[in-house]
DNA sequence: GGCGGCATGTAAGTTGTTACATGATTAA
DNA sequence: TTAATCATGTAACAACTTACATGCCGCC
């Protein structure tokens, strides 16, 4: 039976600093975007479950001085804001998950499905999809570069920069491969 | 609202030749493995729905001479075998889907999550996962080469070889990127 | 006799998305 | 005043996985 990994995403981020569910979502979107995603519909119920199981705790301190745990986005205009902090049992659970072998990755590329069956449809539509695909990954590739530069500029306080840079490198390398494939495909189509 | 794509996988494969649900599954596993997956639990109910909606039909001919529509696997030892054929309405639906823009791809790499949080866990476990990752994609990469060679050897009867080769090229390029990343990561770890 | 592959299916459960509801604050 | 962003949450649904059940055939 597959285990949900949402909890480990939460636990992993909380292991760095206390934060709210909203902030977990923002961080997943910002940092993990190129290899992971979570929705509020998963995050908030999972946080509740984690609290019930004693893997996380409410951090009132962080809720009172919200400027500290939240670095990037502006802290203006907030509502209730519930800050969570990882509990010892949570650290334990995170460690146990990290020590288990990683499960097989899952990918789904609709555009490849469409390219495979391209003979049955209009080539114009596929071309437009591919251009959209290329533009998207070109933008994302640039975002990764900015992320890398930022990381190399700021001091490595937790000593995790090398690991994070390896993760970023994965994104850069695979996006480069996607973009090279786009160029190759357009070239092939033109010389048809 | 996201639409299920299982039906278009089925319709797309049936547009090439009539076949059974079992064969659809085998073909998805063999050809689409590196960018798509389907389970029997999706395939069989979807085939029923497609039949009910008149997008596919039962092909008794193909069921009676099963050697023809099924090229690769041996046809020995079968049970009932229900062969399906695409109906005109099915071709229409397939075409309409192909003409719509492709949705954003989804990927999920647990190993990158673990690498991001590596500082909290045992490095040995991550190393083992990465070795497993590398071995897996090295094997898959070789499979893609064999697939490509096979395709280039046989005559291009439906005129779709170029599209299929583009799809294979995507797999080759991204797997090369994964493997280069593995080598880079191991190198970084050794010189630590 | 048992295993593996052929072949079809279902039930139960899990996971994940989307749309919605609420409401405060700030900037244009 | 309107949109955006902050912030939390739920309900309904859709998608997907897994385990199981059934049974034939051929091979070792």
- Which residue of B4, B10, B137, B167 to mutate against A (max A Cβ within 10 Å)? B167
| A153 touches B at CB < 8 Å | no
| B36 touches A at CB < 8 Å | yes
Q: Do B118 and A95 touch (CB under 8 A)?
A: no
Q: What is the pTM of this model?
A: 0.92
| A26 touches B at CB < 8 Å | no
Residue B104 lies in a domain: no
Do residues A66 and A134 share a domain?
Answer: no
Do residues A93 and A143 share a domain?
Answer: no
Query: Residue A23 CB closer than 7 angstroms to strand D?
Result: yes
Where does a domain end: A61, A80, A99?
A: A99
Q: Do B169 and A181 touch (CB under 8 A)?
A: yes
By C1' distance from the Cα of B66, the closest nucleotide is C6
pLDDT tens digits for range B90-126: 999 999 999 999 999 999 999 999 999 999 989 999 9
pLDDT band at residue A63 under the 50/70/90 scheme: low
- Residues 17-36 of chain B within 7 A of strand C, judged by CB, are 20-23, 26
Torsion-angle region of A50 (φ positive above 0: left; ψ -120 to 50: alpha; else: beta)? alpha
Q: Which residues contact B30 (CB under 8 A, 6 or more apart)?
A: B72
pLDDT tens digits for range B14-70: 999 999 999 999 999 999 999 999 999 999 999 999 999 999 999 987 655 544 444
pLDDT tens digits for range A33-52: 999 999 999 999 999 999 99
Where does a domain end: B99, B129, B147?
A: B99
Query: Residue A42 CB closer than 7 angstroms to strand D?
Result: no
Query: Residue B4 CB closer than 7 angstroms to strand C?
Result: no
Whether residue A135 is predicted with pLDDT greater than 80 in this model: the reply is yes
Do residues B38 and B119 share a domain?
Answer: no
Where does a domain end: A99, A129, A149?
A: A99
Retrieve residue A8's tokens: 């480990």
A30-65 burial, b at 16+ Cβ within 10 Å, e below that, comes to ebbebbbbbeeebbeebbeebeeeebbbebeebbee
Do residues B47 and B68 share a domain?
Answer: yes
From CA B189, how far away is CA B172, in angstroms rounded?
Answer: 26
From CA A157, how far away is CA A165, in angstroms rounded?
Answer: 14
The parent domain of residue A52 ranges over 6-99
| A121 touches B at CB < 8 Å | yes
Nearest residue, CB atoms, A113 vs list B36, B113, B158: B36
Residue A105 lies in a domain: no
| Structural domain count of chain A | 2
């Amino acid at each position: 039976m597959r285990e949900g990994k949402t909890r480990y995403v939460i636990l992993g981020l909380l292991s760095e600093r206390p934060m709210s569910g909203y902030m977990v979502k923002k961080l997943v979107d910002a940092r993990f975007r190129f290899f992971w995603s979570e929705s509020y519909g998963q995050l908030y119920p999972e946080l509740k479950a984690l609290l019930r199981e004693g893997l996380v705790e409410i951090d009132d301190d962080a809720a009172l001085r919200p400027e500290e745990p939240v670095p990037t986005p502006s802290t203006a205009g907030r509502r209730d804001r519930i800050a969570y902090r990882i509990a010892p049992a949570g650290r334990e659970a995170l460690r146990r998950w990290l020590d288990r072998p990683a499960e097989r990755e899952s990918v789904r590329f609709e555009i490849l499905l469409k390219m495979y069956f391209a003979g049955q449809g209009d080539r114009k539509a596929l071309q437009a999809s591919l251009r959209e695909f290329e533009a998207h990954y070109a933008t994302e590739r640039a975002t990764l570069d900015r992320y890398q530069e930022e990381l190399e500029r700021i001091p490595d306080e937790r000593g995790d920069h090398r690991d994070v840079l390896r993760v970023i490198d994965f994104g850069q390398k695979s996006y480069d491969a996607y973009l090279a494939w786009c160029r190759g495909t357009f070239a092939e189509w033109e010389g048809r």
